[in-house]
């Protein structure tokens, strides 16, 4: 089938001149609009403007350019339906065989334009309409929405080897582009106007296929929901599914702290956390918590990695190291390990995410991210013994860590160093026992955090027997009085936060 007419209307003009020259050489007539037509004409390409085809000028400050019967009939007419073709002939309408369109950059301008009135002008109307019409009639109309497709389409046209499969592939891409465009407009306008809706739209873009998922028999890929990746891998072999899960666990936890802090994650749980005056000291202390579990772990750091810290990091086999940046000397040391994955994380961008999305068979769960630590008004000392200033600092440190430990969670700390962790147990007393058991450093004078209330006094007794002197927990149990009484008997300070931190 000989292609006669191509309609070109693009905001992103990359490669369009070369593509249209190629079409012209194949004898295809070029029809275009506004700025695109001007560019093509100035490049020596013969162009008929849409207004010449329709007999109507662009109006309403270019809001209406292509919305015309002659355009859409030319696109939608089915070449194998005689009635459609007779209608075109009767009305003097030329079929349009190729449509090349990309849209006003609403997403890009949403980051630059503050006025809603101005931003609305970047909502494309004619473009998506032409694209949808062309994609609907893909058997007869080639629709191209991506400049990256110009070259292979042109080569296919020259060799007359564009197949129906190619046409369908281009149509699917066109529908994906219109869907993404509308989804972003809906989401952005809802956000800026604070309009609640019972619908949510997520556009996920594949970044890469992964070797496998949690286990070798599971296929997996990594998708992002934003045009900007939060992380950039700068060295080492490719990240695995489990690496990425653990990496974000480390990033979220270490981003909670203002002081230089190091986090070591194993299977999403922290096995080492410490804050200190320097990053190297923080990492050294974090590794002391559980050196055995640190082997093969993921390390998160909230400061630029320096030479001294890099030397310490290089002493242990690690899977991934994440940080906001690595200095030149640190990179020299760490890149000597060929497979060690080094990742820069944009912590500022990480904190912008306000929702979490998880899948279950047949649906999704969406919740606010757990950003709240406690409300100062609800922070309440409930025992006769009050925590010292140093104990309170340690309690709040343990409380932040506890938020990122799988429930039921018990965390023991001394100063701003993690001492022991009890994670993912079915009973809270077992988590307390495991936290004590895992502690390699002296427990006397330590503090503990519990992600939810103690249902019985037994967990308090386990911690008191180990040398814990202060506990922070949400409170709210029907047996709070019994638990507080146990703390008073054991001469332990106890603080209620009024906030629970279950992590499933």
The residues assigned a catalytic role are 136, 267
Cβ(221)–Cβ(236) below 8 Å: no
Q: Indicate the angle between helix axes 16-25 and 34-42, nearest 10 degrees.
A: 70
Q: Facing residues of 450 across strands? A: 410
Of 485, 477, 416, 482, nearest to 450 (Cα)?
Answer: 477
Contacts of 283 (CB under 8 A, 6+ apart): 262, 274, 299, 301, 309, 312, 313
Cβ(241)–Cβ(216) below 8 Å: no
3-state secondary structure 234-247: EECCCCCHHHHHHH
What CA–CA distance (Å, rounded) separates 475 from 494?
Answer: 10
Contacts of 81 (CB under 8 A, 6+ apart): none
> Which long-range contacts does 73-77 make (Cβ < 8 Å, 24+ apart)?
74/5, 74/7, 75/7, 75/99, 75/130, 75/133, 75/134, 75/137, 75/141, 76/133, 76/136, 76/137, 77/137, 77/140
DSSP codes joined into one string, 209-239: EES-SSSTTS-EEEEESSSS-SEEEEESSPP
Per DSSP bridges, beta strands 341-345 and 297-301 are: unpaired
What CA–CA distance (Å, rounded) separates 118 from 258?
Answer: 39
Cβ(395)–Cβ(419) below 8 Å: no
| Most distant pair of Cα atoms in the chain: their distance | 97
Tokens in use for 406?
């799988």
SS3 for 398? helix
What CA–CA distance (Å, rounded) separates 343 from 238?
Answer: 11
Q: How far is CA 336 from CA 203, 325, 333, in A?
A: 38, 17, 6
- Sheet hosting strand 47-49, strand order edge to edge: 47-49, 29-32, 5-9, 98-101, 142-144
The position carrying tokens 């191509």 is: 6
């Amino acid at each position: 089938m000989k292609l006669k007419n191509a309609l070109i209307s693009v905001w992103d003009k990359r490669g369009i001149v070369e593509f249209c020259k190629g079409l012209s050489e194949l004898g295809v007539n070029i029809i275009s609009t506004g700025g695109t037509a001007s560019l093509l004409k100035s490049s020596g390409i013969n162009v008929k403007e849409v207004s010449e085809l329709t007999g109507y000028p662009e109006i309403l400050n270019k809001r209406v350019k292509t919305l015309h019967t002659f355009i859409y009939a030319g696109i939608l007419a089915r070449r194998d339906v005689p009635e459609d073709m007779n209608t075109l002939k009767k009305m003097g309408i030329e079929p349009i065989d190729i449509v090349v369109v990309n849209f006003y950059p609403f997403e890009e301008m949403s980051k630059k334009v503050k006025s809603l009135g101005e931003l609305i002008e970047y909502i494309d109307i004619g473009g998506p309409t032409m694209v949808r019409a062309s994609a609907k009639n893909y058997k007869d109309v080639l629709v191209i929405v991506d400049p990256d497709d110009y070259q292979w389409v042109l080569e296919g046209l020259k060799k007359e080897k564009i197949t129906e499969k190619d046409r369908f592939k281009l149509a699917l891409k066109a529908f994906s582009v219109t869907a993404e465009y509308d989804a972003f407009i809906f989401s952005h306008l809802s956000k800026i106007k604070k309009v609640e809706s019972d619908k949510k739209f997520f556009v996920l873009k594949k970044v890469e296929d992964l070797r496998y998922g949690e286990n070798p028999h599971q296929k997996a890929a990594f998708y992002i929901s934003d045009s900007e990746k939060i992380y950039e891998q700068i060295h080492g072999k490719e990240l695995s599914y489990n690496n990425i899960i653990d990496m974000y666990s480390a990033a979220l936890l270490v981003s909670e702290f203002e002081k230089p802090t190091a986090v070591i994650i194993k299977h999403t749980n922290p096995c080492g956390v410490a804050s200190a005056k320097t990053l190297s000291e923080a990492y050294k202390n974090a590794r002391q918590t559980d050196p055995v579990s640190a082997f093969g772990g993921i390390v998160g750091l909230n400061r630029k990695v320096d030479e001294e810290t890099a030397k310490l990091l290089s002493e242990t086999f690690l899977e991934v190291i994440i940080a906001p940046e690595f200095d030149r000397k640190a990179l020299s040391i760490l890149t000597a390990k060929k497979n060690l994955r080094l990742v820069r994380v944009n912590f500022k961008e990480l904190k912008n995410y306000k929702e979490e999305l998880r899948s279950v068979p047949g649906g999704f769960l969406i919740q606010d991210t757990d950003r709240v630590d406690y409300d100062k008004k609800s922070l309440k000392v409930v025992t006769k013994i009050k925590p010292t200033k140093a104990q309170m600092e340690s309690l709040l440190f343990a409380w932040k860590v506890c938020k990122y430990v799988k429930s039921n969670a018990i965390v023991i700390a001394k100063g701003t160093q993690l001492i022991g962790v009890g994670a993912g147990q079915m009973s809270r007393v077992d988590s307390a026992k495991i936290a004590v058991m895992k502690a390699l450093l002296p427990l006397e004078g330590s503090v503990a955090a519990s992600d939810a209330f103690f249902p019985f006094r037994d967990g308090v007794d386990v911690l008191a027997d180990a040398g814990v002197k202060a506990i922070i927990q949400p409170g709210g149990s029907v047996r709070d009085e019994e638990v507080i009484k146990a703390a008073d008997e054991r001469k332990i300070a106890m603080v209620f936060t009024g906030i629970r931190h279950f992590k499933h």
